[in-house]
Every structure is written in structure tokens, then in C-alpha cells.
Amino acid sequence: MIESFKEMAEGMQDQLVAWRRELHKIPEVAHDLPKTAEYIAKRLEEMGIPHRTGVGGYGIVAVINAEKEGKTFGIRADMDALAIEEETGLPFPSEHKGAMHACGHDAHMSMALGAAKLLQENRESIPGRVKMLFQPAEEGPGGAKPMIDDGALKDPDVDVVIGQHIGHIFKTVGNGQVGVGKGAIMACLDSFKLQIHGKGGHGAMPDITVDPIMIATQITQALQTLISRERKPTQPGVITVGKFHGGTAYNIIPEKVELEGTARFISEEVRQQISKRIGELAKGIAESMRGSCEFEYVYGYPPLVTDSEFSEYFKGVAAQIVGDENVVEIDEPTMGGEDMAFFLKEAPGTFFFLGSPKAGEDMYPHHHPKFDLDESVMWKGTALFAATAYSWLKDNA
């Protein structure tokens, strides 16, 4: 049956491309996805798949074999685009000014729709249920948790869940290859804000001021010691200050400076430790330099942790779809984040990477206004979703 799903998915390639291009034209950002959700719901309706809309916002949950007893296999696809003005020059560009599918979510939806169609057409031979999870706001502020809170993984309860990302996130995963990792493979996605208060005054008389720019500079440098001196070298971590705002004129020492940054960790233990130390260190430096500091830390997406046993199972299915030589073991995590992590905290599963870089001079990274992907590999994503769902449900009936 795995071979059959492979052949059926290959036969759907033109349809997958057509869906992807239609979705590419109507990108929507964050939680505001009325047209995208309507498009997905219409395709599910055409397939005869019962579904619920408005889950945690514009999320959609569809269940294949809704009345059948057995375990439930979850397939997740993100739906949102980015607030980027498209510059690809494609013949099917974004019709929404200031929005673009610059991360491949249009392809994710298309491949998931393809899997839903194949599974629905072969539902009589599937010993269990498949739940399709179409999720908004992956790029921020996060759509997985609102869907979970709204019961997306309940009634029926999801036993395992799988998701994927297309493109060129891991350089070791070539075009058409499948990357699979075990354990923590993506970092948390946290942010922090620091407001440093001093005492403003004339730039020519610094001795009667408390300079928040100097304090903020010391803090920015010192934050890096939390990575180099308070964390094991074998545990990945990143602290980046991306905003540094302060001052109104060249000869005035301001009253305050505002810093904003991101923190990324693979280990939840390290995440909890360093998140507290950022505030302690910043406040200590500010007070030692006669100023003060306000600190806010926002816990975003947690580290993405795959289930090792299920990931190994998926690798076996993937080898039958793309060939063993095209299944690549991911042994080093990326510090990028993904709110698929919330689903994987609720149910075991995996998150795989389908290599699809646009070759030559046209290859631009994710989140770039000229980002594009090689559509010829899309059938593989559909086949991997459908074949893994069928195979796992059969083996766990």
C-alpha cells in the first residue's frame, strides 16, 4: 500500500502545484486568514471530508473516518504567510499587497490537502482515523496553542502527530531529500525587553548624568557571557539584541534606552535558567552604574522535540517513498523555532524537512521577498503524509 500511495501522489503532482499556486495568490498574515480558511474548507467539502472551522481562530480540523474505531493519526499544516512585499516575478504573484507566502506554507497546505484526498479515497482500507490540522499564525504570534486549547487534539484524541517544512532549512538535506531528527531539533522562540533608566543631561557634562546608553552597551556585551560562561558548550544557545533605541540628539544624554532581543535554546532546563539570568544580569549592571532596569521575558514556542521511536518508524516509511539514500539524519538542531512544538508536547510524533531549494541564482532563503521553491518535489510530501498515516494505523490497529 505504501507503493500505491507513492504512485497516487505522483499522479496528483499537477493538482498539488495548482493548489499551491492558488494559495500563493491569497497570502494572509497571523490569525487573520478568512480567504485561506475558506479555500481549505471548500476543498475539504469537495472531498466529502467532515470538518470544523473556527478552531482557535481560523484553524480547521477535519477527520477522515470520523465514525471508525481505532487510533487517530494527526497531520498538521500551517496556513499563514508573512508581512513581506513579494518580489519573485512569478506568474502567480501575491494579490494581497504587503503579504507573501515567503516560507512555503502554501506548499504545506497543498501537500496536506493532497494527503487528505488520498486518504479519503482509500478510507475503507484504513484501520483508524486521520485528523487534519490546518493551523494559522505559525509565523507569530502562534496558532497551535489556541487550537489545542479549543480541543483540536480531542474528540477523537490524537495518538501521534506529524508535520513538515519544505525548503532549504538544513543545508545537508538536498533537493527531494527528507531530513529527519530525533529529540530536540528546533529551538524555543522567546523574546525579551529591557528598559534602562538613567539621568539625562548635557552631553558635555556627563559627570552630572547617569548615561543609559553606556549602561545598555555594557548589558548588551555582558549578555553574551550567559552563553559562553553559564551554559555547557555542548548545549546550543543564542541571545541576540535586535533593537537598541535611545537618544534624541547628538549632544544630549537621554533618560532611558530600550533594548529588545530574542533568546533561543534547545534544552528547556537551560531555557528556564538563562531566561532568569538575563534579568538578573541586566539589573545588576544597571544598578552598579547608578541606573535601573525593567525586564520582561516572553516565553514563546518551546523547543521542538520529536519522539525518537516514531521518528525511526517514519524513516522506514520515507525510505520506501524516496529511497534510503535520500533520507538524511539531522544530527545538529537549528536555532529556528516552530510552534509545531506545542502539538508535539501533547502527542508523540515527528517533524520532517523536505528539501526543495530553487536552484541557481533564483535560490533565496526563507522570509526573503524573492523566496521560491522547487514544486517538483511536492508529491513526496503528500506521499509521506498519507503513507505514514496508513502504515502506522495499520501497524497499531
Instruction: Give the list of residues 6+ apart from residue 218 with CB closer than 8 angstroms, or none.
Output: 285, 289
Residue 363 has pLDDT above 90, yes or no: no
What element of type H or E holds 184? Answer: strand 183-186
CB 203 within 8 A of CB 252: yes
Give the confidence band of 281 by pLDDT, cuts at 50, 70, 90: very high
Span 294-349, pLDDT tens digits: 999 999 999 999 999 999 999 999 999 999 999 999 999 999 999 999 999 999 99
Give the confidence band of 202 by pLDDT, cuts at 50, 70, 90: very high
Span 172-189, pLDDT tens digits: 999 999 999 999 999 999
C-alpha cell at position 55: 478552531
pLDDT for the residue numbered 362:
65
Instruction: Report the distance separating Cα 146 and Cα 9, nearest Å.
Output: 32
pLDDT for the residue numbered 358:
77
Mean pLDDT (the chain) is 97
Give the confidence band of 357 by pLDDT, cuts at 50, 70, 90: confident
Of the candidates 184, 190, 336, the one whose C-alpha atom is nearest the C-alpha of residue 273 is 190
Residue 66 has pLDDT above 80, yes or no: yes
pLDDT for the residue numbered 360:
62
What average pLDDT does the segment 210-235 reach? Answer: 97
Output the CA–CA distances (angstroms, integers) from residue 129 to 67, 74, 158, 255, in the order listed.
8, 9, 9, 61
Give the confidence band of 1 by pLDDT, cuts at 50, 70, 90: confident
Instruction: Report the distance separating Cα 1 and Cα 4, nearest Å.
Output: 5
Span 135-173, pLDDT tens digits: 999 999 999 999 999 999 999 999 999 999 999 999 999
Which residues are identified as catalytic?
80, 138
CB 30 within 8 A of CB 58: no
Domains of the chain in start order, with CATH, are 2-186+303-395 (3.40.630.10), 189-301 (3.30.70.360)
Give the confidence band of 361 by pLDDT, cuts at 50, 70, 90: low
